[in-house]
Structure 1
Amino acid sequence: MINQYQAYKTNSVTTASPGELTLMLYNGCLKFIKQSKRSIEQENYELKNTTIQKAQKIIQELMVTLDQDTDIAKEMMPLYDYINRQLMEANLKNDSAILEEVEGLVTEFRDTWKEVIKLSRQKQYGQGANF
């Protein structure tokens, strides 16, 4: 069963569009932030460190892949940088409140990105498409 799930996950990533991959990154980042908050509550600081670093790596990937030639990139880059710095701060201070703030920002980005994908699909496949 685990091998089938792993094959499904691998296939999902390899067949995803760039927009879907970005959505997967946002969802992964949120998953690691939530795990970090739980780890702080449970005083499992080793796991907290690992999961915050994973969230940071996702944010850094989003920064690297941001198309610098677009106007939105000029607005997103400072926000990604802020999130990355806040994740470092939360890691150093074991601060769940900082993680809450970051989770809110990433959730907003994820939800906005979902809407962009939805609108793009409707435009591509016609107004009647329902995804």
Structure 2
Amino acid sequence: MGFGYGAGAYQQIRSHGGVESADPHGLITLLMDGALERLIKARAHMMRGEVAAKGEAIGRCIEIIGGLRDSLDLKVDPVNTGRLDSLYEYMSRRLLQANLRDDASLIDEVSKLLQQVRDSWVQIAPSATQHAANA
């Protein structure tokens, strides 16, 4: 996991706006949204036979997933954070295979996994956690 992943992913999301006002939790959500958007584009390019555009979209998605991996703090919850790191690594490998094999089912698999992670992430938003603590 290198520095380039996080910086590239941040730059990707920055172009969509909202970064300046987002908290760390919101930034992770934006990264996941950006990756999901790239997966939709990659699948569409794949279906149209647009090899270069497909490869670029998949590559950018892999960079964003790398940024998500870089953002993990293994000190917080080593077991679950390690599992999430492994899942992100798995997603990246599957996307490489999808690109090489021109296999839309692999893009669909990663999309489903990432959407599940995103849905769980959104449910543990800081405001929801603070509300529960204050109740």
Q: What's the TM-score, normalizing by structure 1? A: 0.83
CA deviation profile, 1:51-105 (whole Å, cap 9, x unmatched):
0001000000111111011232111111011001001101111110000000000
Name the CA distance, whole Å, in 2 between partners of 1:31 and 1:100: 12
Q: Which residue of 2 aligns with 1:102?
A: 110
Name the CA distance, whole Å, in 1 between partners of 2:101 and 2:15: 38
Candidates 60, 71, 74, aligned match of 2:66: 60
Name the CA distance, whole Å, in 2 between partners of 1:125 and 1:100: 35
Candidates 97, 102, 111, aligned match of 1:89: 97
Residues 122 and 68 of structure 1, relative CA distance in 2, 3 Å threshold: closer
Structure 2 residues without counterparts, runs of 5 or longer:
1-13
Q: Answer with 1 or 2: which has the greater Rg.
A: 1
Identity among equivalent positions (%) equals 25
Higher helix share: 1
What's the CA shift for 1:14?
A: 1.3
Residue 47 (str. 1) matches residue 39 (str. 2): no
Name the CA distance, whole Å, in 2 between partners of 1:39 and 1:57: 18
Structure 1 runs of 4+ aligned residues shifted over 3 Å read 7-10, 125-128
Q: Which residue of 1 aligns with 2:39?
A: 33
Name the CA distance, whole Å, in 1 between partners of 2:39 and 2:15: 24
Q: Which residue of 1 aligns with 2:4?
A: none
Residues 114 and 88 of structure 1, relative CA distance in 2, 3 Å threshold: same
Structure 2 residue identity aligned to 1:27: D
Candidates 14, 20, 24, aligned match of 1:14: 20
Structure 1 residues without counterparts, runs of 5 or longer:
1-6
